Chain A
Amino acid sequence: MIDYLYDETFDGLLTCVFAHYYEEKAAGVYPERLYQPSLLHGARAVVTQPERADRVYEALIRKTPRLTPRKIYYAFLSETPRKENIILNYVILAFRRGPRLTACRSLPEVLALETASDRVDTELGRFLGFVRFQDMGRFLYAAIAPDHNILALLADHFSDRLAGENFMIHDTGRDMALIWNGQEAFQTPFRRAEPLRPGEDERRFQTLWQEYFEHITIGERRNPRLQAQFTPRRYRSRLTEFQRPNKGLFGNKQSLTEYDSVHDDIGHEINDG
């Protein structure tokens, strides 16, 4: 048994899985950058090999239930502590059980992985709605600060939807940006000290939207706790409609962001039709 150390890429993690099957059994997989040597096992840094990673991924597609590979990828994008070991244990179980894996949600390996992947799925669902673009003239710019690393998962949705535009979605916490130039989408490291300053037209649309947001509320049904369940406070600094200070439609002196927020983690309920 050995601890494998990887470069924090998905391919790197799958290369470690490959090594587990074809070289030496893994005791665990850890980011090389953060590894604390263990007394129990030796450790080895694994060089990422995309062909090996592909072989593992293709085997998962062939041998496990349809959604399993995606769940693994989503769990990888989550900020769950020790996610590598959760994924390793799950992959081992998945290959052992094959198509019967779906019936096993109550097993701890499955529960841990699905919890991680569900978190990413939930946040992705939220951000399809929560990304707010500003028109900067030559391109649309959105700053986001998601809990999990969902940037790559936004690419298909927005590049189809805004196919004729140029846009940048900036994950300010991870200093990464997703860029669409009208032809292709790619990720690149990106950082800015100053926030971008939108022009007058852009500010006018933001105000129109803020006004709309206030006037669509039924005052007699005011329910800030329920609102906070769905738009948790930590996301609000990036949401245009919550950026309007001190002018409540109902003579309320509080700005919307000042309400107590509760139940931050209650799942996103999709508005069904």
Chain B
Amino acid sequence: MNVLHSPDLMEKLQILAGAAKYDVSCASSGVTRRNGGGLGNAKGYGVCHTWAADGRCVALLKVLFTNKCVNDCVYCACRAGSDTPRASFTPREIADLTIEFYRRNYIEGLFLSSAIEKSPDHTMENIIEAVRLLRREHKFFGYIHIKAIPGADPALITRVGLLADRVSVNLELPSIRSLSLLAPQKQMPALLAPVRQIYEESAVNRDERRRFRSAPKFVPAGQSTQFIVGATPDSDLTLLKASETLYGRFALKRVYFSAYVPLHDNPLLPALSSMPPLKREHRLYQADWLLRFYGFKAGELLDDAQPNLDTELDPKIIWALRHLSFFPLEINRAPMEMLLRVPGIGVVSAQRIIRQRRVCALKYDDLGKIGVVLKRAKYFITCRGVYRGDAPLNPETLRGRLAPPPVVWQPSLFDGASYE
């Protein structure tokens, strides 16, 4: 505990939390584990502990190990050329701080990321030591998410994968062109190498665990990644296609989008005065939910003629307006896949519709009670054959009806959970 009395700990925490904040992921979900005789456990559904003043959930102690970096990625606050205060934790400081915060129920665990100090291997070894202390010395059974350092020895990735719950690599930019422009020291193949390695070792590990129950788990909560939105001209279509590939090809659990916050003046970047594109980020999250839970394909939502999401209306409404010939759908007959495409019907209400109509046909009045948002849905459905929309089914009129009134708009991160 003594290391926590060092006088500069406060300053380190300020610098290295501040430097970690642009990483949007704070999920603690995906693995359920009981306390195996030490401290902590993990809940599969994740627990949020508080919400910061930007409205983002805080579930983990999210810090960088160090912000001293050998690279010079243009968009990054840690880049070698930036004039910013620097600090590094020791592995023991990270481990002890995590334990003390965890005992007080401030957090679910640790999310440790890092800039590259000296070399990828050197940095990765420090990270592994922090996690080893937590797991072995403190017998910590809480959640640990580690950001792998691209370019580190694959053997180090394997080691960290056996200690952490989630390991991820931030791809940050979705195209080779943007990468070579803004992060010249990074190469797409080198970035994807650990993603592929984690994917392949997870498959082997699942197989081993089928045969030997006691085999240690490798990255049980899976991997995720993050893209920066708005630092480059990459379109939403490019971002969603990249996400779709990552879900399909490498079984990623989650792709995060982070609206770019201008940090310094550079001709390659948006002007310092520009606002982070929060609305665009929000639409991307909605589209991402449609890919993961609603059976949509990126190519159905966007195409080369229309490569960016509409900012006024959500992508599901836009899809429906472009495919009005599918509507109206009869609530008492439409199959699950089609119910999910109705604006105003979410996954839960679609399931309720299916369950309830087995017993007896639904009445229009039931729909609101089981969670259907009729304000939107009414234009796209019939119930017992009756259409209740008060406008003809044509895109222009409906657009007017469905567009939100011009109010101050509040972005809500990951707001898919309420997305219907």
Which A residues are within 8 Å of any B CB, using their own CB? Answer: 100, 102-106, 111, 125, 128-135, 140, 142, 158, 160-165, 204-205, 207-209, 211-227, 229-231, 239-241, 256, 267-273
Give B106's nearest chain A residue, CB to CB: A209
Contact A272 B27 (CB under 8 A): yes
Contact B29 A226 (CB under 8 A): no
Q: Which 3 A-B pairs have the closest CB atoms?
A: A226-B55, A273-B27, A273-B29
Contact B415 A269 (CB under 8 A): yes
Using Cβ atoms and an 8 Å threshold, which residues of chain A touch B59?
129, 271
Report which of B17, B34, B38 forms a contact with A212, defined as CB distance below 8 A: B17
Contact B101 A209 (CB under 8 A): yes
Report which of A140, A211, A219 forms a contact with B104, defined as CB distance below 8 A: A140
Please provide the chain B residues from 358 to 394 with a CB less than 8 Å away from any CB of chain A in the complex: 358-359, 365-366, 369-370
- CB-defined interface of B264-287 with A at 8 Å, one 1/0 digit per residue? 000000000001101000000000
- Chain B interface size, as a band, is 35 or more
Using Cβ atoms and an 8 Å threshold, which residues of chain A touch B52?
213, 216-217, 227
Using Cβ atoms and an 8 Å threshold, which residues of chain A touch B159?
none
Say which one of B18-26, B170-178, B226-234, B335-343 lies at the interface with A: B18-26
CA distance A270 to B52 in the complex (A): 15
Contact A222 B415 (CB under 8 A): no
Contact A207 B10 (CB under 8 A): yes
Q: Across the A-B interface, how many residue pairs have beta carbons closer than 8 Å? A: 197
Contact B275 A272 (CB under 8 A): no
CA distance A221 to B54 in the complex (A): 5
What is the CB-to-nearest-CB distance from A221 to chain B, in angstroms, rounded to a whole number?
4
B35: Cβ under 8 A from any A Cβ:
yes
CA distance A59 to B253 in the complex (A): 41
* Most chain A beta carbons < 10 A, residue from B30, B104, B365: B104
Say which one of B298-306, B313-321, B406-414 lies at the interface with A: B406-414
Say which one of B41-49, B124-132, B147-155 lies at the interface with A: B41-49
Using Cβ atoms and an 8 Å threshold, which residues of chain B touch A106?
356, 365-366, 369-370
Using Cβ atoms and an 8 Å threshold, which residues of chain A touch B4?
204
Contact B54 A217 (CB under 8 A): yes
Report which of A130, A204, A220, A225 forms a contact with B49, defined as CB distance below 8 A: A130
Pick 16 A–B contacts, CB within 8 A, sort by A. A105-B369, A106-B356, A129-B49, A132-B105, A205-B101, A205-B104, A212-B17, A212-B61, A215-B21, A216-B52, A217-B21, A221-B278, A225-B55, A239-B50, A269-B418, A273-B253
CA distance A134 to B106 in the complex (A): 10
Given contacts A106-B369, A256-B53, contact A273 B221 (CB under 8 A): yes
Contact A163 B370 (CB under 8 A): no
Contact B50 A231 (CB under 8 A): yes
CA distance A225 to B407 in the complex (A): 14
CA distance A21 to B352 in the complex (A): 31
Please provide the chain B residues from 155 to 203 with a CB less than 8 Å away from any CB of chain A in the complex: 166
Using Cβ atoms and an 8 Å threshold, which residues of chain B touch A222?
53-54
CA distance A111 to B97 in the complex (A): 45
Contact A220 B276 (CB under 8 A): yes
Report which of B27, B97, B417 forms a contact with A269, defined as CB distance below 8 A: B417
Using Cβ atoms and an 8 Å threshold, which residues of chain A touch B399?
none
Contact B417 A270 (CB under 8 A): yes
Given contacts A105-B370, A271-B27, contact A215 B13 (CB under 8 A): yes
CA distance A131 to B103 in the complex (A): 11
Contact B369 A271 (CB under 8 A): no
Using Cβ atoms and an 8 Å threshold, which residues of chain A touch B45?
270, 272
Contact A215 B53 (CB under 8 A): no
Using Cβ atoms and an 8 Å threshold, which residues of chain A touch B369?
105-106, 111
Given contacts A220-B276, A223-B54, A227-B55, contact A271 B410 (CB under 8 A): no
CA distance A154 to B317 in the complex (A): 41
Using Cβ atoms and an 8 Å threshold, which residues of chain B touch A227?
51-55
Give B40's nearest chain A residue, CB to CB: A161
B355: Cβ under 8 A from any A Cβ:
yes
Using Cβ atoms and an 8 Å threshold, which residues of chain A touch B37?
163
Contact A128 B410 (CB under 8 A): no
CA distance A111 to B352 in the complex (A): 13
Give A142's nearest chain B residue, CB to CB: B105
Using Cβ atoms and an 8 Å threshold, which residues of chain A touch B26?
271
B225: Cβ under 8 A from any A Cβ:
no
Known: A132-B106, A221-B276, A226-B412. 20 other contacts (CB 8 A): A103-B358, A129-B59, A134-B104, A135-B103, A142-B105, A161-B39, A161-B40, A163-B39, A208-B10, A209-B104, A216-B56, A216-B62, A218-B21, A226-B54, A256-B53, A269-B418, A271-B59, A272-B29, A273-B28, A273-B166
Using Cβ atoms and an 8 Å threshold, which residues of chain A touch B17?
211-212, 215-216
Report which of A162, A220, A271 forms a contact with B57, defined as CB distance below 8 A: A271
Given contacts A208-B10, A241-B50, contact A161 B29 (CB under 8 A): no
Using Cβ atoms and an 8 Å threshold, which residues of chain A touch B106?
132, 209, 240-241
Contact A163 B53 (CB under 8 A): no
B217: Cβ under 8 A from any A Cβ:
no
Contact A221 B104 (CB under 8 A): no
Give B370's nearest chain A residue, CB to CB: A105
B58: Cβ under 8 A from any A Cβ:
yes
Using Cβ atoms and an 8 Å threshold, which residues of chain B touch A103?
355-356, 358-359
What is the CB-to-nearest-CB distance from B329 to chain A, in angstroms, rounded to a whole number?
20
CA distance A133 to B99 in the complex (A): 13
Give B417's nearest chain A residue, CB to CB: A269
Contact A271 B29 (CB under 8 A): yes
Contact A223 B410 (CB under 8 A): yes
CA distance A160 to B32 in the complex (A): 13
